[in-house]
Structure 1
Amino acid sequence: MTAQQHPAAHTPLRAQLRRACGRDGSPLCRPVDRARSRLALALPLVLVALLAVSAAVSALVYRAETHDEREIARHRHAVVATTVGAAVADDLRTGGSWAHAPARWAYPVGPGGGVVRVTVGAPVGTAVPIQVDDRGVPAVAARDGAVVLSDAGFLGVGTAVALSSLAVVGFTLRRHALDRRAERSWEPDWERVEPLWTQRS
């Protein structure tokens, strides 16, 4: 009889709990069987704990990123730039729909100028809304709350998947090791227990 054929190899939850706690009075219950029951009971608890950790990481990242984006937003200002030159396609080989053009804009700290993104074929004098920093230099706008929440959520999901995958791999390796150990020891253990089990001396 192999470990796979052992009647205790697949047991309901209640029996797993009794075995894991050492309260299974069966003479066929060996230390390796109790170890397998503890392992089977531990996996769901570990996965729940890892999900909680991932959710906490996501919440902390969202809180930190929200604070950072609010700070960035305090130093971003919407202005309207006006192109003063012809638009040049960003990539003539691919025939893309975007181009860049020289432009000017006004800001309380003084007039500014530079290159802005426009659609291909935009005429001179096209108005383009842009974001500038406190010095009047073009800058990336702060992300809105939905984007921050989405990024934090993806990070949380990725963390949960990575940690859970590691836990399942570890569980599988440990389970296989216990199964091999149980299979190797089953014959000698059965020879020892069989007389008691069959009430033979």
Structure 2
Amino acid sequence: MAGTHGARPRRVRLWRWRSNPLRRRSDVIEAWVLLATVVLALLVGAFAGVTAAGVVDGSIEDRREGVRPVPAVLVEDAAHALPASVTEDSDGGVWAKVRWTAPDGAVRTGRAEVGAGTKAGTEVTVWNDRAGRLASAPPEGAEARFQVVMAGTTVAVATGGLVVLGGWLLRSRLQWRRLAEWEAEWQRVEPSWRKRMTG
């Protein structure tokens, strides 16, 4: 017949939700599992992401409160310190020896990040913790927002992925159970079917 040769079977969308003779109880359960997996992945992932972002934002705020900028003087030329043990970072800064006065009045020295071409005797700004020790500057502006967003996104995706994995494992278990039910039913039907075919 023209137009029927090689016709592909039409897919029925959402067939597990529609009443039909071939739908089994396990099909309905699987449909609910899929729906619950999607909803939980979105809700739990979003909640975990927002929580993680809040934790990171709070941590950054604690770092801001725990350090303060203080004036310091560069003890050595940054350019001269480069060949020794100074490490360059991605911004072109270098670690050079500086001198500053701690809150208790003691004069201290240490290595802090300064511009690569900074001369000895130049006043620079370093960060101290509450004990007057050198500390890294807390992230500000775009850098802080980036850390908060990245933390929230990473945790949200990871948590949502775990939920999806759990749903997939449960669905696989349902599929194995359905196959076992089909096999058991076939064992009951097969003798009578074989008798009719050979009779």
Shorter chain as denominator, the TM-score bin is 0.5 to 0.7
In structure 1, the gaps of 5 or more residues are 1-9, 195-201
8 Å CA contact 1:90, 1:98 repeated in 2? no
Measure, in 2, the Cα distance between the counterparts of 1:105 and 1:177: 70
SS at match of 1:148: helix
SS at match of 1:89: helix
Corresponding residue of 1:105: 100
8 Å CA contact 2:26, 2:174 repeated in 1? no
Relative to 1, partners in 2 of residues 1:95 and 1:157: Cα closer, same or farther, differing over 3 Å?
A: closer
Q: What percent identity do the matched residue pairs reach?
A: 20
SS at match of 2:134: coil
Corresponding residue of 2:120: 124
**Count of residue pairs brought into register by the alignment:** 174
TM-score w.r.t. the length of structure 1 is: 0.65
Shift of 1:164: 1.7
Measure, in 1, the Cα distance between the counterparts of 2:177 and 2:27: 7
Post-superposition CA distance 1:48-105 (Å, at most 9, x none): 113211211222222233333323322211123221124433887x987554221112
1:75 lines up with 2:66 in the alignment: yes
CA RMSD of aligned residues (A): 3.6
Q: Please tell me the residue identity of whatever aligns with 2:66.
A: H
8 Å CA contact 2:67, 2:130 repeated in 1? yes
Shift of 1:37: 2.7
SS at match of 1:116: strand
Relative to 1, partners in 2 of residues 1:169 and 1:105: Cα closer, same or farther, differing over 3 Å?
A: same
Corresponding residue of 2:7: none
Post-superposition CA distance 1:3-59 (Å, at most 9, x none): xxxxxxx7543x52355xxxx5x3x55xxx211231133212222113211211222
SS at match of 1:134: coil
Q: Please tell me the residue identity of whatever aligns with 2:138.
A: A
Measure, in 2, the Cα distance between the counterparts of 1:152 and 1:130: 30
Residue of structure 2 aligned with 1:47, choices 38, 50, 53? 38
Larger deviation, residues 34-43 vs 94-103: 94-103
Relative to 1, partners in 2 of residues 1:12 and 1:121: Cα closer, same or farther, differing over 3 Å?
A: closer
